[in-house]
């Protein structure tokens, strides 16, 4: 419902309104859509939430700004964003938009916040910080315990393929624990989340959609963003502790258990190091956004880089000029970090992926050439399945948007008379 429709009462959906510096972040937790608006926009929304009267909202906005405010246009934008509750029969609440290639449709609730709040209180974070300090101390005091990539493909004497097949479910459990940390921290804050699978360049990533964090004050967003790394640090400290006690001859674990511990430690260190690649929108990228007060750094970074390369269109130049000043300031250096990140991705591939893939392919090829009546053949098949999942799926997810674009262009050529609708306008970042 728009203000210009002659109605004096407007009913908004259940929205969160959070002050964030010189902006107010307004959003719908159900749809996962949030926008940053000027402070006067927060005044309008809060007044509408209290009374629903457009006249009172206009008066409150004028008192705040010291001049007339076009509330009607602002309310029209709220309607375009799905923030206004209509009364059409059978209308369903807005559904969250997809943020990953493969994703849950609905938000996942789970345990009540009070039941998991203790996991993310001050005492718990002190424990997580202590576990990280223990891991660093062990690696500093005993650098020979630093895991090496060979720990992954020499897990079993049978070769790289069986080693990968054994390690794969364990690595998946570690990834699940990382994402569960994000989800439980969101529950502790009274929010819901959802899981998905996507890719970053050639990396296959598991994601927890934490869009609802925008409904929290900035200081409360850090816990859910860092919860995955807290789980990783705890697991790594335990694994390194096992290795240290064995190295000190306090006990003698079975050979397979010792090798599996080393392989999992390497997996955890690699996963934690990966989070430092901010240009891939990792957990620490989210921390950077929260710490700097940015609202749409990724988009502004792209615009700033296009301007530096002299390929910015007039429309993009106008968009960049009206972007959040904090986004523009951080994008001035983050754009170059993002550009340099490709070199880091190549180095990561050479250090982590290439040695493992080389050994796996060398082991798998001969195995597939054997008879299906042998166990070697089926181990090679299992190894191939893991390789396709780990390395083929990112390629498929990368190419899928290209296929969609090609089909879209073909459809447009077939329907030359069709006029595509423009995307809904955003209030701000």
Give the mean pLDDT of 162-186.
92
Q: Please give the distance of CA 404 from its chain centroid, rounded to a whole number.
A: 23
* List of residues 6+ apart from 92 with CB closer than 8 A: none
pTM of this prediction? Answer: 0.84
Residue 236 · residue 243 · CB < 8 Å:
no
pLDDT in tens, 208-250: 999 999 999 999 999 999 999 999 999 999 999 999 999 999 9
Residue 58 lies in a domain: yes
> What pLDDT score does 88 carry?
55
Tell me, yes or no, whether 276 and 235 share the same domain. yes
Residue 420 lies in a domain: no
Tell me, yes or no, whether 73 and 161 share the same domain. no
Most confident of the following: 271-275, 328-332, 390-394: 328-332
| pLDDT for 136 beyond 90 | yes
pLDDT in tens, 81-93: 989 987 555 566 7
Residue 429 lies in a domain: no
CA angle 216, 217, 222 (to 5 degrees): 80
Q: Is 241 exposed, middle or buried (0-12, 13-18, 19+ CB in 10 A)?
A: middle
> What pLDDT score does 257 carry?
93
> What pLDDT score does 401 carry?
56
Domain-terminating residue out of 45, 80, 115: 80
Considering its fold, how many domains does the chain have in total? 2
Task: Give the whole-number percent of the chain exceeding pLDDT 70.
Answer: 89
Q: Which domain holds residue 49?
A: 3-80
CA angle 300, 305, 310 (to 5 degrees): 125
Tell me, yes or no, whether 333 and 398 share the same domain. yes
> What pLDDT score does 400 carry?
64
| pLDDT for 423 beyond 60 | no
d(CA 153, CA 392): 19
| pLDDT for 422 beyond 80 | no
Tell me, yes or no, whether 199 and 308 share the same domain. yes
Residue 90 lies in a domain: no
Residue 426 lies in a domain: no
251 or 149: whose pLDDT is higher? 251
Tell me, yes or no, whether 117 and 17 share the same domain. no
Residue 421 lies in a domain: no
Residue 308 lies in a domain: yes
d(CA 1, CA 197): 36
Helix 39-50 with 54-65: angle, nearest 10 deg = 150
User: What is the layout of strands, in order, in the sheet containing 16-20?
Assistant: 16-20, 23-28, 33-38
Helix 314-321 with 297-308: angle, nearest 10 deg = 130
Residue 322 lies in a domain: yes
Helix 222-247 with 283-292: angle, nearest 10 deg = 130
What is the average pLDDT score of the chain? Answer: 86
Tell me, yes or no, whether 210 and 349 share the same domain. yes
Reported confidence tier of residue 343, pLDDT bands at 50, 70, 90:
confident
Tell me, yes or no, whether 37 and 68 share the same domain. yes
Residue 221 · residue 213 · CB < 8 Å:
yes
| pLDDT for 417 beyond 60 | no
> What pLDDT score does 347 carry?
80
386 or 37: whose pLDDT is higher? 37
Task: Give the whole-number percent of the chain exceeding pLDDT 90.
Answer: 59
Reported confidence tier of residue 310, pLDDT bands at 50, 70, 90:
very high
Give the mean pLDDT of 309-337.
94
> What pLDDT score does 406 carry?
46
Give the mean pLDDT of 270-287.
92
Reported confidence tier of residue 363, pLDDT bands at 50, 70, 90:
confident
| Torsion sign over Cα 412, 415, 419, 420 | negative
């Amino acid at each position: 419902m728009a203000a210009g429709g002659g109605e004096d009462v407007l009913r908004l959906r259940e929205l969160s309104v959070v002050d964030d510096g010189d902006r107010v972040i307004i959003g719908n937790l159900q749809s996962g859509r949030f926008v940053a608006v000027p402070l006067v926009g927060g005044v309008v929304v809060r007044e509408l939430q209290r009374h629903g009267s457009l006249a009172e909202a206009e008066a409150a906005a004028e008192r705040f700004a010291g001049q007339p405010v076009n509330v009607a246009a602002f309310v029209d934008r709220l309607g375009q964003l799905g923030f206004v509750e209509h009364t059409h029969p059978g209308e369903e609440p807005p559904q969250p938009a997809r943020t990953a290639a493969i994703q849950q449709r609905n938000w996942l609730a789970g345990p009540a916040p009070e039941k998991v709040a203790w996991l993310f209180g001050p005492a718990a974070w002190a424990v997580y910080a202590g576990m990280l300090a223990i891991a660093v101390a062990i690696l500093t005091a005993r650098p020979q315990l630093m895991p090496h990539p060979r720990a992954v493909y020499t897990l079993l004497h049978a070769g790289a393929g069986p080693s990968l097949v054994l390690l794969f479910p364990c690595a998946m459990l570690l990834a699940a624990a990382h994402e569960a940390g994000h989800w439980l921290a969101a529950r502790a804050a009274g929010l819901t989340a959802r899981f998905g699978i996507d890719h970053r360049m050639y990396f296959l990533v598991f994601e927890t959609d934490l869009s609802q964090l925008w409904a929290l004050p900035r200081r409360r967003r850090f816990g859910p963003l860092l919860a995955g790394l807290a789980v990783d640090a705890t697991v790594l400290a335990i694994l390194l502790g096992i290795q240290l006690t064995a190295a000190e001859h306090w006990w003698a674990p079975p050979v397979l258990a010792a090798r599996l511990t080393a392989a999992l430690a390497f997996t955890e260190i690699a996963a934690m190091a990966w989070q430092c690649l901010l240009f891939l929108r990792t957990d620490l990228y989210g921390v950077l956004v929260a710490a700097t007060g940015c609202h749409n750094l990724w988009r502004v970074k792209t615009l700033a880089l296009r301007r530096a390369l002299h390929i910015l269109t007039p429309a993009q130049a106008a968009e960049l000029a009206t972007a959040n000043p904090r986004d523009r300031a951080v994008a001035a250096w983050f754009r170059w970090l993002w550009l340099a990140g490709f070199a880091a991705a190549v180095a990561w591939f050479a250090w982590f992926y290439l040695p493992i893939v080389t050994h796996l392919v060398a082991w798998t090829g001969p195995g597939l050439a054997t008879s299906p009546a042998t166990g070697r053949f089926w181990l090679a098949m299992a190894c191939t399945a893991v390789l396709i999942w780990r390395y083929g799926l990112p390629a498929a997810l990368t190419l899928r948007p290209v296929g969609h674009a090609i089909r879209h262009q073909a459809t447009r050529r077939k329907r030359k008379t069709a006029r595509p609708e423009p995307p809904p306008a955003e209030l701000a970042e």
